[in-house]
């Protein structure tokens, strides 16, 4: 039986607080999809390899200071500069597994006190994901994880505020919440099932836009 070729790749985003295991899960999802003959690529934001990403890295590692609005816009710019390349890959049938996206941008900045709508505005027009997988963790699970580094934002109290902001952003039409407080393998299997389902259910060749 011949397998149906999807119209395009799926744009799948993993979101959640720091230490929820997103990065390792994303990379393993790409490996698993590719092993099943489904072209996939790992993308992460912030992309610290660009000039703009270098400024963001200096901020996160406390080497540079920017006011809240400026760093917010730099994170957004870092996504805009990646947009065309992402669109080309998706059109070529490559599924993108994205480690953080606009939702991190808004949740982290709003958790610092910036207005949520102000934070969303410059993200409007970026590619809208087909699926957002939100890795949730309770306050006690966050504290238990520990191992937070010394980058900005990496403190349990702030992470809890970020989780509350995700609550305000989530949209059940394309978000799925997944409890990350389980074994790596169990979480991987659950995420992979959702990714395969998203790839199998692409109906529009054209990508939608945020928001």
What CA–CA distance (Å, rounded) separates 26 from 99? 7
Q: Is 166 in the site for ligand NYM (CB under 6 A)?
A: no
Among 5-13, 16-24, 101-109, 178-186, the segment contacting Mg ion (CB under 5 A): 16-24
15 is an interface residue for ligand NYM by CB under 6 A: no
Interface pick for ligand NYM out of 6, 27, 39, 60 (rule CB under 6 A) = 60
Nearer CB in complex with Mg ion: 9/108: 108
Pick one of 20, 95, 104, 136: the residue that binds ligand NYM (CB under 6 A). 104
CA 116-162-139 angle, to 5 degrees, is 150
* Beta-bridge partner residues of 12: 97, 131
Q: Does residue 45 interact with ligand NYM by CB under 6 A?
A: yes
74 vs 141 by CB, closer to ligand NYM: 74
Q: Is residue 75 near ligand NYM by the rule CB under 6 A?
A: yes
CB atoms within 10 A of CB 91: 14
Q: How far is the CB of 60 from Mg ion (least distance, A)?
A: 8
Tell me the chain's radius of gyration from C-alpha atoms: 17
Which residue, 38, 57, 39, is CA-closest to 47? Answer: 57
In the bound state with ligand NYM, the residue whose beta carbon lies nearer, of 75 and 166, is 75
Write out the H or E segment, with its range, that includes residue 97.
strand 95-99
């Amino acid at each position: 039986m011949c397998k149906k070729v999807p119209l395009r790749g799926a744009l799948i985003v993993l979101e959640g607080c720091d230490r929820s295991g997103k990065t390792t899960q994303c990379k393993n999802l790409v490996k698993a999809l590719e092993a099943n003959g489904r072209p996939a690529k790992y993308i992460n934001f912030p992309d610290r390899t660009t000039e703009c990403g270098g400024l963001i890295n200096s901020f996160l590692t406390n080497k540079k200071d920017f006011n809240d609005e400026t760093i917010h816009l730099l994170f957004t710019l870092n996504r805009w500069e990646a947009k065309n390349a992402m669109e080309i890959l998706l059109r070529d049938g490559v599924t993108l597994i994205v480690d953080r996206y606009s939702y991190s941008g808004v949740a982290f900045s709003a958790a610092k006190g910036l207005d949520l709508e102000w934070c969303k505005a410059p993200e409007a027009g970026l590619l809208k994901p087909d699926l957002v997988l939100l890795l949730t963790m309770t306050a006690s699970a966050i504290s238990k994880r520990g191992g937070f580094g010394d980058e900005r934002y990496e403190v349990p109290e702030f992470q809890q505020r970020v989780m509350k902001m995700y609550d305000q952003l989530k949209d059940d039409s394309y978000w799925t919440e997944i409890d990350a407080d389980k074994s790596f393998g169990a979480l991987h299997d659950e995420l992979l099932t959702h990714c395969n389902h998203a790839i199998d259910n692409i109906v529009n060749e054209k990508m939608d836009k945020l928001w």
